[in-house]
Amino acid sequence: MKTKISIFAVWLLFIFTLYSICSAQTGEIIDTIEVFVDSTANELTSFGDDYLDDTVWMPDELGGCLPVDVCYNSANNKFYLFGGRRVIVIDGATNNVLDAITVSSKGDISAANLWSELPQHRLVYNSINNKIYCATYDAELIVIDGYTDDIITIHTDPEIVNLAFASLIYIETTNRLYWLLNDYFTYRKIKMFDGENDEFLLEYSGTYWIYDIVCNPSGDKIYLSKDTNVRILNAFDFSLISYITLPIHPGTIVYNPTSNKVYADIRRYTWK
């Protein structure tokens, strides 16, 4: 059975959600937006100047994956797709599969995954040192050389035994990587690494779920969505700067660099 990498569109009859807009400077809620979309009238009919260039079929002789995330290596014009146990490398010029890198001993293909709606950035690209970082289902951080596609380093955390979900953000301004880990039963952490030598620097740990993390462009503040608030931390030492209390817990958060605002998706359920 082959898996096709293409553009997928899912049409739901109605979508309803809430977004809170917070000041990234003062830590106050500025506004709340109710979003109601009749998605039957939102079908993709035109891509403007963009068009489907090619379709890559998997598996092939190198293997394959069910892709859940992708990143682009601008130095070598390569795409990396993560899914399950592998990272698939695709040539950006020819669309040929170049390699299949085994990064994990386990995977998750369940469509009913409890955390599937939460942002899980499994792949990020370090443009300064030409490295790709992958957060696996084994609770491992895999560092891949962007030139050779060899695995350089593997980081683990022995306290994360039952991984619920993980996510990554890379800040080019400070050349720092942040690895978010949530264990089902014990610790919820953010681990900081130096992008130059992949050295572990510091960790933020707690018992409440951390659903999403973003950073401002200057790289000095991190925003966390957790329990019923968005916390603002110093990105260098994880000290608390401020927090924004919300009526129910936020999920996805997005930073707007133009207006210096944080947008928080307020979800209808809570896990602690």
Asked if residue 242 has pLDDT above 90, the reply is yes
Q: Is residue 176 part of a domain?
A: no
Asked if residue 195 has pLDDT above 70, the reply is yes
Instruction: Provide CB contacts within 8 A for 60, sequence distance 6+.
Output: 97
Same-domain pairing of 266 and 236: yes
**Range 65-76 average pLDDT:** 90
- Domain containing 42 equals 13-47+209-272
Q: Rounded to an integer, what distance in angstroms lies between the CA atom of residue 267 and that of residue 146? A: 37
Residue 238, Cβ density class (10 Å: 0-12 exposed, 13-18 middle, ≥19 buried): middle
Same-domain pairing of 152 and 103: yes
> According to the model, what pLDDT value does residue 30 have?
53
How many Cβ atoms from other residues are within 10 Å of residue 124's Cβ? 22
Same-domain pairing of 39 and 18: yes
Same-domain pairing of 38 and 81: no
Of 65-79, 101-115, 139-153, least confident by mean pLDDT is: 101-115
Asked if residue 83 has pLDDT above 70, the reply is yes
> According to the model, what pLDDT value does residue 267 have?
64
**Range 79-101 average pLDDT:** 92
Of 26-40, 59-73, 190-204, least confident by mean pLDDT is: 26-40
> According to the model, what pLDDT value does residue 90 have?
94
> According to the model, what pLDDT value does residue 146 have?
97
Same-domain pairing of 40 and 67: no
**Confidence label for 47 from pLDDT (cuts 50, 70 and 90):** low
Domain tally, the chain: 2
> According to the model, what pLDDT value does residue 119 have?
64
> According to the model, what pLDDT value does residue 62 have?
76
Of 63-72, 113-122, 132-141, least confident by mean pLDDT is: 113-122
> According to the model, what pLDDT value does residue 148 have?
98
Q: Is residue 7 part of a domain?
A: no
Asked if residue 36 has pLDDT above 50, the reply is no
Ordered DSSP codes for 159-195: T--SEEEEEEEEETTTTEEEEEEEESSS-EEEEEEET
